[in-house]
Structure 1
Amino acid sequence: MFFKNLIFAASMSAIIISNPANAVIGPIKITLNPTEISSNYFNEDDTSAPFASEIYTEDDIKNSKSTNIYDFLTQNTSLSLAPSSGNRFSQKISARGYGLTVGSHNLVVTLNGRRLNNIDTSGPSINIININDVEKIEITKGSGSVVYGDSAMAGAIHVFTKKNLETKVSVAMGSSGLVQTSASVGINEEKIDLNLSIDRLKLGGYSAAGPDGNKDKGKQTNSNISVRYTTDAGTEIQLDYQTNKSDNRYPNALTKAQYDADPSQNGNTSRNYTLREVDSNTATYSIKRALTDSLTLSRSTSILNKDSQNTYYYSTGPNKLIYDSISTDYILSYKKGGLKIDSGFTSFDGSRTAPEATTYVPANTTSKINTGLFSQIQLTNKDTTYSFGARKELVEYEYNPIIKSTTAGNWLQRFDKHHLEAFDLGFNTKLNKNTAIFSNYNQAFQAPLIDRFFNYDGVWNGFMSPSTSKTINIGVNHLTDKSKTKVTLYRSNISNEMFYNNSTVKNTNLDKSHKQGLELQNLFVVSPKWSTNVNYAYTNAIIDKEADNSAFNGKTNPMTSKHNITASVIYGFNDKANMTLTQKYRSKAFVEEDYLNTSSQKQQAYNSTNFNFSYNPNDDLEFKFDVENLFKNSYGTWVRADAIYPGNSSRNIKAELSYKF
């Protein structure tokens, strides 16, 4: 409590004593000015929005010197990330106390408005995003459920890519066999834009080789083609086609003794590493047309096909899964004066097919269909903005075994559905030209992901109740000529939060739980050469009531750190050279399955120091030198006592050369 109060007092003091003035951008490009938010369709400035947000522009992302999207989110934001069971190509994400175990289930992630969330617990496919193509990242916290519906309980992460205005190639090489190449081409004419990009990554591996001679190595290729055409009448038509191919191996779990002795070892020398192979294709068609001066209609349709297969050490062959989905959004937007209204219809029809039967489970297809209607209104009157929105969504499930039977079990066809609602009420008002306060009340929901219906061996577990949350945010935004500060206090009350109960070996619900905390972000320009960025989150996540196991009551949600802090310093030597030093710290937590908070082992703290130096001799050429985990701090993910999936434990060095034609 003392530490929380101290942080809050310090942040408020910084706001009070700062000299009010218009925000400026110095020679070091750090975004202080208000930044337009695109993800909620209202397009207001972040400092005028009636909800909490973190906004990162193209300059912010470039200054971070991050080498991929996971690195940027880990090292620069209030989010928590960790490799999923040691898989660096697929990472878990947590925000606002939902924990690294299930945090990504409670976040919506979009790429240019297209949802990346899967219908199962494998998490959103963020690894398909090339950090060099990103124009802006928006993180809306405790909001987003009206527009995006299902899973936006903690909030949403929105990534927007930029138009490539030139031809650019880059080559990077680093330790542990890292080789990365990327190329992009942009053609921009009066009515047509064409963008092509390809990114290839190869990693030799960090851990010792398994019996088959393979380390935890991997490779990945992402490619994208985008065409946009604007008609004489101003209608925008866009086609995007994106492919992702990857195969990577990730290590087995270690005991604590093995992890302490050498986290890079293979815990069981008779076991090969898990091999995961993914091949996905996504086609997106969108059209935006102005019906009148005040009314705009847009439509977007995306079709996804993905094949995924895992080969485990005990497998006789790969476990195959086939994903298919189609999503369509219609948005009608009205804007006149200080009034903005957005209404929409959204649909998602996704399925996962297991084409091969196992001992206990027939070949089957499980589907999830979301159909939603929403409307939101925003009214700006002088220095105050009011907003209100509501959503109704129908979620339908079908489990369809290839071989059917009238008896219970995995051979019985099953159906389920839920009618769910979300709404949001908020305001933002300026106290003066530099300081604004805001508050909003948000109701959100998460419909179960289809993995929840099955046990670890694929045997039918049963349908589950959706989770619902009620969140209140209270915050202040403040700008000076040298700093930009955001402070938010929040509390979320949750019903039927979903979790895996290891003692009963079943997926189930917690009756009541809550999350509360404080978030502080401060960007400060010390001088034309020096700038700093501090991002701190205090989180308290408590289980209030669980009727089936009262011993959970009052316990802390596992894999939730109370303190999460990022601090970075940017120094510009001159117009051509600068360096960035970043420190990321995340405090200890209870291990993944420890809902009783009694395990003798704890999830260790995350502690990483990164250094980057960049040199631009001219506008076309750039050289970057990166050192990740400078002091070789080890980090692993604890599932339970003596079950630790190793993460990063080495000092990783990379050099990159980029050239624009």
Structure 2
Amino acid sequence: MKTKQLYTAALAALFASSSAFAVIGPIKITLNPTELSSNYFNEDDTSAPFASEVYTLDDIKNSNVTNIYDFLSQNTSLSLAASSGNRFSKKISARGYGLTIGSHNLVVTLNGRRLNNIDTSGPDIAGVNINDIERIEITKGTGSVIYGDSAMAGAIHFYTKKNSETKVSTSFGNYGVSQTSASFGINDEKIDLNVSMDSHKHDGFHKAATGGVKDKGEQTKSNIGGTYTTVGGTEISLDLYRTNSDIRYPNYLSDAQFEADPTGNGTGARYTYRDAESSTTNFKIKRNWGENFEFTTNRSATDKESKNYYSYSGATVDNYKYDYNSNDYLLTYTNGDIKIDSGINMFDGKRKVESTSATSRNTTSKENFGVFSQLQYFSNDSVFTIGARSEKVDYKYSPDSGTALSGEYDLNAFDIGINTSLSPNTTIFTNYNHAFQAPLIDRFFISAAWPATGQVFNGFVKPSKSRTFNVGLNHLTDNSKTKVTLYRSNVKDEMFLCKSNAASDCGYFGDNLNLDKSHKQGLELQNKYVFSPKWSTDLNYAYTIAKIDSDDKGAGALNGKTNPMTSKHNISASVIYSFSNKANMTLTQKYRSEAFAEEDYANIFTKKQPEYNSTNFNLSYNPNDDLSFSLDVENLFENSYGTRLRDNVIYPDNSTRNIKAGLTYKF
């Protein structure tokens, strides 16, 4: 009954104001339709035949955040939490897949280049410099035809801007927080050159470990890129990215320790330490073939290395080396109202484990080869799309000692959608999507007597498949923009780590298995409203139900249970007040309701994952076009939050009030 009431209220909100074309008010809040580049749509978001969230450069500036994770957490329908306490690497969830495995079911791209990893470490979002971003697009319940593997919940896309000025920013805060960013650009008719760097560090938010070392961290990001346009209009681009991280992050706490002091160290043991670096080269050529064809080729190579020192492992050090190579080819045909995008995606990823534990040393590879085609047809006030994809995934496992193994999957995706206008300012869309997720390489391992004997190979688990149905409305008025979507996803063979506390016949350290059948359903609502030249609001709400329908582990012990780490309510609400053309204030409230703990697939633990509640305040002042000042207060009321694995095991996240002042100057 409550669900029906929420759906009815959301639909009624769409038509609460008079119909007219939306405009941008004096406060920079994006109301007008915005072009979408994801799924190669290249039309306005309100005419897209799929669900989307779009955030422009003005939206990013208004948020006044200094890193990409904070923007996604405070402004979007996504759920985020630090990964095992690591603030520089966060778990992400969308559409009911939960913070446990949510990032495995999302594709993340930067200018079309995938940032996903072949293991469960999650996409490399931390390497994205928010100061370089012009637009963020989140497509939900679609994208499997274009992006293939892992686009079950949808995709997150970052698009960079062209720097045409020299800009330097610096900020300082409590807990030793400091951040320095600089960018430089040259843009003319033939050559575009962009250079940027960002350095972020803190001295630690928790009590020092034995020996006096705190959970401090530092990360630097740099990028240099250029585009040359020939006389014939061919664009040739080369981008170089580099990221370095030196991070210590907290160990888990018991319930009593967390309740007494969420910034404590617990046992006093040393903090987990991660030393990592990554470099990527991306080469792209785009050219026209006659009047109707455009051909794009995009090649990238990434080398990464991560050294990990754990509090529990003594002298054991795990060194992970990654080698990724991808080649993408796209041919676009346009003729009047018809547009056809066809392409080939090739990816070759390897991870080599060099550990002081001999049983952990191995090289595991994952290769993807996908072919797709998508048709878009525009007719009067309607847009119709249909597409299909075929993808082959190959795996190889080569331990330093033991038997080498291999396996492969042949997978398919399908998508069909339509958007039509009900009036000059109201559109309705519906979309059906069939997607898949091939197993990440960590799914092929179990921990036998971990950590003493390292990990051993576990064979191949099944790929996951989903069928998602979306229906939604977009509505514009003189002072508001509203989007609402209802969806249902039926999932087969959803992958999960089954432990003995969930099913009696699973191992204590966990077996990577599949849930037979599960489903996700919910409502997503976005509303931006300009009350006056001084006041505006931004609301983003997601209502989610995620259930396990049937599974044969533990004699059906998981049947009908709720997926862990999936909050029913996720709300982000902002109020923006403009004192003048030079001064603005933003107050943001982020709330996520409680959920079942990360390992609690059987829904039997005594305690649940706590709710997330954070109030953030920002004040900005721009005395002129070249200078700006900002004051930020994060977690104003010092609400404590942590990620609960099970009873008496919780990884602390943000529990402090963080204050920061910043300055930006354009030369």
Category of TM-score, reference length = shorter chain: over 0.9
Residue aligned with 1:288, SS: strand
Instruction: Provide the residue aligned with 1:406 in structure 2.
Output: none
- Within the candidate set 651, 654, 657, 2:660 is matched to 654
CA distance in 2, matches of 1:462, 1:273: 33
Instruction: Provide the residue aligned with 2:620 in structure 1.
Output: 614
Residue aligned with 2:186, SS: strand
Instruction: Provide the residue aligned with 1:408 in structure 2.
Output: none
Instruction: Provide the residue aligned with 1:395 in structure 2.
Output: 393
Residue aligned with 1:474, SS: strand
Check if 1:155 corresponds to 2:154: yes
Residue aligned with 1:355, SS: strand
- Within the candidate set 468, 472, 495, 2:465 is matched to 468
Residue aligned with 1:552, SS: coil
Check if 1:429 corresponds to 2:412: no
Instruction: Provide the residue aligned with 2:445 in structure 1.
Output: 454
CA distance in 2, matches of 1:207, 1:241: 35
Check if 1:517 corresponds to 2:522: yes
Write the deviation string for residues 249-289 of structure 1: whole angstroms up to 9, x where unpaired: 011100111000000000111x1000011111000000000
Write the deviation string for residues 539-561 of structure 1: whole angstroms up to 9, x where unpaired: 00000010123010000000000
Moved over 3 A (4+): none
Cα shift at 1:357: 5.8
- Within the candidate set 594, 597, 612, 1:588 is matched to 594
CA distance in 2, matches of 1:478, 1:574: 29
Is this contact kept in 1: 2:390–2:410, CA < 8 A? yes
Stretches of structure 2 that go unaligned for 5 or more consecutive residues are: 448-453, 501-505
CA distance in 1, matches of 2:551, 2:640: 35
Instruction: Provide the residue aligned with 2:96 in structure 1.
Output: 97
Check if 1:555 corresponds to 2:561: yes
Is this contact kept in 2: 1:425–1:441, CA < 8 A? yes
Write the deviation string for residues 141-163 of structure 1: whole angstroms up to 9, x where unpaired: 00000000000000000001101
CA distance in 1, matches of 2:457, 2:207: 37
Residue aligned with 2:10, SS: helix
**AA partner of residue 525 (structure 1):** V
**AA partner of residue 378 (structure 1):** Q
Instruction: Provide the residue aligned with 1:275 in structure 2.
Output: 273
Cα shift at 1:10: 2.3
**AA partner of residue 413 (structure 1):** A
- 1:175-324 maps to which residues of 2 (within 5 A)? 175-269=174-268, 271-313=269-311, 314-324=313-323
Cα shift at 1:459: 1.3
Instruction: Provide the residue aligned with 2:580 in structure 1.
Output: 574
CA distance in 1, matches of 2:71, 2:592: 15
Cα shift at 1:431: 0.4
**AA partner of residue 446 (structure 1):** Q
Instruction: Provide the residue aligned with 1:73 in structure 2.
Output: 72
CA distance in 1, matches of 2:199, 2:244: 10
Cα shift at 1:317: 4.2
Instruction: Provide the residue aligned with 1:602 in structure 2.
Output: 608
Instruction: Provide the residue aligned with 1:5 in structure 2.
Output: 4
Give me the CA root mean square deviation.
0.9
Residue aligned with 1:283, SS: strand
Cα shift at 1:41: 1.2
**AA partner of residue 441 (structure 2):** I
Write the deviation string for residues 584-641 of structure 1: whole angstroms up to 9, x where unpaired: 0000000000011010010000000000000000000010100000000000000111
* Range with bigger deviation, 328-337 or 577-586: 328-337
Cα shift at 1:355: 2.6
CA distance in 2, matches of 1:470, 1:100: 21
Is this contact kept in 1: 2:317–2:355, CA < 8 A? no
* Range with bigger deviation, 590-599 or 124-133: 124-133
Q: TM-score, normalised by structure 1?
A: 0.98
Check if 1:536 corresponds to 2:541: yes
Instruction: Provide the residue aligned with 1:369 in structure 2.
Output: 367
CA distance in 2, matches of 1:160, 1:395: 28
Cα shift at 1:401: 1.9
Instruction: Provide the residue aligned with 1:481 in structure 2.
Output: 478
Is this contact kept in 2: 1:282–1:305, CA < 8 A? yes
**AA partner of residue 196 (structure 2):** S
**AA partner of residue 552 (structure 1):** L
CA distance in 2, matches of 1:90, 1:315: 24
Q: TM-score, normalised by structure 2?
A: 0.97
Write the deviation string for residues 109-161 of structure 1: whole angstroms up to 9, x where unpaired: 00111100000000011111111111000000000000000000000000011
Instruction: Provide the residue aligned with 2:451 in structure 1.
Output: none
Cα shift at 1:22: 1.0
Cα shift at 1:6: 3.0
Is this contact kept in 2: 1:42–1:340, CA < 8 A? no
Is this contact kept in 1: 2:46–2:474, CA < 8 A? yes
**AA partner of residue 365 (structure 1):** T
* Range with bigger deviation, 451-460 or 540-549: 451-460
Cα shift at 1:64: 1.1
Cα shift at 1:359: 4.5
Is this contact kept in 2: 1:368–1:396, CA < 8 A? yes
Instruction: Provide the residue aligned with 2:450 in structure 1.
Output: none
Cα shift at 1:315: 3.1
Instruction: Provide the residue aligned with 2:25 in structure 1.
Output: 26
Residue aligned with 2:624, SS: coil
**AA partner of residue 104 (structure 1):** S
Instruction: Provide the residue aligned with 1:644 in structure 2.
Output: 650
Instruction: Provide the residue aligned with 1:444 in structure 2.
Output: 435
CA distance in 2, matches of 1:292, 1:433: 35
**AA partner of residue 653 (structure 1):** I
CA distance in 2, matches of 1:153, 1:353: 27
- 1:102-141 maps to which residues of 2 (within 5 A)? 102-141=101-140
**AA partner of residue 166 (structure 1):** E
- Identity among equivalent pairs (%): 62
Count of aligned pairs: 651
- Within the candidate set 396, 409, 414, 1:418 is matched to 409
